[in-house]
A and B are shown apart, each in its own frame.
Chain A
Amino acid sequence: MKYLALHLRARRVPAAVSAVLSTSACAWLGWFLASDHRRAGAPLAAVAVMLACVAASVTLAGDDEALDRTAAVSWPRLRAIHLLTAFGLMIGLFSATLATPVQFGSFAFVVRDTAGLLGLSALGAVALGTQRAWFAPVTWCVIALPFGGSTTHHGMQVLTWMIQPVETTASTVTAIVLAVVGAGAYVRGTTRLSRTEAL
């Protein structure tokens, strides 16, 4: 129990959880006040999931990665558990909205977007460090959102996968690839040392 508490604190989990809850609550409230539809629009749902994944990405490594590496712990297992727990909690949070006056997409939509965007964030953490991990999901969303809408063009379906209808195969495949590659790279590898923190 003590180690769990220490792990959560070292990974800034409380701050991340409050960030997830506040951004999701803002999105929920915004749609509740602005729209008559019960199901929130795909862009809003995708942005809510994306911001939650950005918050989760901050917890993917501690402040001192170099120190962590010296510990005699099975890091791959710990990283896998950490990532899966984050995934499960986010699925829980967003599918809980299915019972509220505002729904963040269907269950399949929530699973696809959470898996893909969390994988993308993990990939960002591996490539750029946890501090800069947000570049990847935020940039992709900013590019994808203006092009929005459902389309039959496969390239566009891949580019805007997080806001496509769940039936489109190309978007599902993209999400699966991102999830598998991102989670694999994160579990097997190490996150890049952030230069600022290495000072």
Chain B
Amino acid sequence: MRALRIELRRSVAAGTALLIIAIGGADFIWGGASVSSWATMTFAQRASLLLLWPLAIGVGAWQARRERLAGVGELFASSPRSPAQRLAPVAAALALAVTVAYLLVLLVGTARVWSGPADMYFTIEGGAAAAVGALALVAAAWLGLWLGRLFPSAFAAPVVTMLGVVLVTLLDELDLRASGPAFSLLQPSLDPPPGDQLQLSLGVSAKQGLWLAALAITAFAITTAVSRRGRLLALVPAAVAALIAVPTLPPGGSYMDPSTVYAQYEDALRPVCTPDLPKVCVMRVHSGILDEATGPAREALRALAFLPDPPTSVTEVPEPLGREPAEPEGTDKLAAARTLSMTLYLDRDGHVEDPELQVDLLLEGAGTPGCSTPEQSERYYAAREIVGLWLSQKSAAAVGESPWTEPVRQGLKALTALPAATQRERIAAFRADALRCGDDLYTDLTRGPA
């Protein structure tokens, strides 16, 4: 314990901790990480390892120079203590420093989540993602210790740092280019999750944890090995872990597939609703901003109230992931007609970013779910946008830039030229057709006076 205390003061441990807190904290606070739930936050913190992991390798390599510089290797070798016993205090000091620093940044993030509108949601998955992040830094620091011993040069530390960056980038690149397992999961940095109800799956965390722990053991053992046989034996843990983890990793390039890397967080998806009518529900993970979501949702319901059989409630649905089809199979059309689906877009502090945008999104297509329209998609989307603009009583000037800007302008002009009662009939006809995924919604709106 005394040796550890001395090493904590005399090694680069303290400086490393400060570096990690500074860079990790800055990346975390200004880097746009999500703070909508704790499990998502620990996941998002892993993105900062893109910078911290190579730096931890460099710090380890730098620390390894010390004994050589002091010229005491021969003297120490004559002592009865084994190399492992001698390296243990400095390795422990580095491990402690990086772990504490990573967890301190996590604490800052936790405070941000706590002060925000989100529910906390301490989950095992979230804790595992954080633990693997800290473990990754330990493995990196010990890997650096080994590399610093292997190449006893003043240039070793800067060069291995840059090689660490190259390695991380290459593994990511490999995923995009080649099929096979997701090699990028062998390095610890991850892209932030695309939705608040998602967390890193336990299986992926377990495999990454196994691999990184084995890497740390191998690095420590190979640094302290005295014989060639010892060095070969030291490679065994990393080799075994790679043999277990690599073949079972989710396939590369399917990073966006929620069933492999991410785990849907069922508890966070449960709806939380307003007690009074019209009913507005949000995912439980967003229950803190139910009030903010209620305003835009009810505004949309009011705008649709004139329709025959109008929608009576709004419920939040998660943002669709990259590869999910826009409309899941077997959606109950009648239920969809009564309940509008809303995707909330939040700002960095976890509040609704733009209430007006939320209303516009709800009113687009008169609140009907999207249809898959391989043909005529331009006219289809134009029709949906026209209805949205008409319902929110916007003029043609508000038409956004899109491939179907021109049909929208023309269609809106044709529609608003009709008598007011006919206009409402057309919108009702559009809605009825859109719920059946009718063929030509655009004509519903723009055909001349009846």
Contact = CB atoms under 8 A, between A and B. Distances in A.
A138 B23 contact: no
B55 interface: yes
A143 B23 contact: yes
Interface residues of A, number: 21
B51 A51 contact: no
B108 to A, nearest CB: 18
Contacts of A142: 51, 54-55, 161-162, 165
- Give the residue among B157, B159, B169 with the most A Cβ atoms within 10 A: B159
Contact of A138 (B58, B66, B69, B154): B58
B17 to A, nearest CB: 14
Contacts of A23: 155, 159
Given A196-B66, A196-B69, A138 B158 contact: yes
B215 to A, nearest CB: 20
- Give the residue among B23, B70, B161 with the most A Cβ atoms within 10 A: B161
- Give the residue among A55, A138, A143 with the most B Cβ atoms within 10 A: A138
Main SS of chain A's interface residues?
helix
Nearest to A44: B166
A17 interface: no
Contact of B19 (A55, A139, A196): A139
A138 B162 contact: yes
B50 interface: yes
Contact of B158 (A54, A143, A145, A146): A54
Contacts of B70: 196, 199
B19 A19 contact: no
A134 B59 CA distance: 11
A55 B162 contact: no
- Give the residue among B19, B58, B162 with the most A Cβ atoms within 10 A: B162
Contacts of B169: 146
B155 A54 contact: yes
Interface residues of B, number: 19
A102 interface: no
A19 B58 CA distance: 17
A141 B66 contact: no
A47 interface: yes
Interface in A149-199: 196, 199
Nearest to B22: A139
A55 B155 contact: yes
Contact of B50 (A55, A146, A199): A146
Given A142-B55, A143-B23, A51 B158 contact: yes
- Give the residue among A19, A131, A139 with the most B Cβ atoms within 10 A: A139
A76 B39 CA distance: 56
B162 A141 contact: yes
Nearest to A134: B158
Interface string B165-200: 100010000000000000000000000000000000
A23 B161 CA distance: 13
Nearest to A12: B154
Contacts of A15: 154
Interface in B32-66: 50-51, 54-55, 58, 66
A111 interface: no
Contacts of A146: 50-51, 165, 169
B155 A143 contact: no
A51 B165 contact: no
Nearest to A199: B70
Query: Which 6 residue pairs of A and B lie closest in terms of their CB atoms, listed nearest first?
Result: A134-B158, A54-B158, A138-B158, A19-B155, A146-B50, A138-B161
Interface of A: 15, 19, 23, 47, 50-51, 54-55, 58, 131, 134, 137-139, 141-143, 145-146, 196, 199
Given A58-B154, A196-B70, 12 more contacts: A23-B155, A51-B158, A51-B159, A54-B155, A54-B158, A55-B155, A134-B157, A138-B157, A139-B23, A142-B162, A146-B50, A199-B70
Interface of B: 19, 23, 50-51, 54-55, 58, 66, 69-70, 154-155, 157-159, 161-162, 165, 169
